[in-house]
Amino acid sequence: MRINAKKLLCITLIAWIAIWINFIIRDMIKGKRLEEYKALITRDAQGKASYTYGERLFELLKFSAEEMPLGAEYELRGVEYSSIDFRRAVYYLYPNMCVSEADYILVLDEPGYSRDGYRIFKSLDSGRFILKRNI
């Protein structure tokens, strides 16, 4: 019995797809991620970003993107530098640049935070606000 190359390729492709479907379904059921997938499927782009970033961080980022001028330099407080949330924030706020000693400081969940030479520019609530360098 001789199997031609097209038939072998087709069988391999079907097996490969079946294995990946198995991995996805197993992850959804055993990993208890059905609710996460459902939440992401039923939301629009803003809702998905809010769910993924965390609602409080996303609201601050959206607020900051609207209030800061395009191309502004900012510093982010209240988010650990090596965390995925920090990377998401930098990505979301691009083309604004994250640098130390910036013109703007975005503060997340540090009520009462202040720094010499800065004043409150805009405030979302008592724990989330933007400081601006005094000129």
How many distinct structural domains can be found in the chain?
A: 2
**Is the same domain home to 66 and 123?**
yes
The Cα 53–Cα 69 span in angstroms is 22
Going from the C-alpha of 21 to that of each of 14, 24, 26, 114, 118, the distances in angstroms are 11, 5, 8, 52, 54
Confidence of residue 36 (pLDDT cuts 50, 70, 90): confident
Domain with 15, as residue range(s), is 5-41
Predicted pLDDT of residue 1? 54
With respect to residue 47, please indicate whether it lies within any of the assigned structural domains: no
Q: According to DSSP H, which parts of the chain are helical?
A: 5-30, 34-41, 45-53, 55-67, 84-93
Q: Lay out the sheet containing 97-98: strands in order across.
A: 97-98, 73-77, 104-108, 128-133, 118-125
In tens, the pLDDT along 75-92 reads 999 999 999 999 999 999
With respect to residue 48, please indicate whether it lies within any of the assigned structural domains: no
**Is the same domain home to 94 and 60?**
yes
With respect to residue 66, please indicate whether it lies within any of the assigned structural domains: yes
What pTM was computed for the model?
0.73
User: What integer best gives the mean pLDDT of the chain?
Assistant: 90
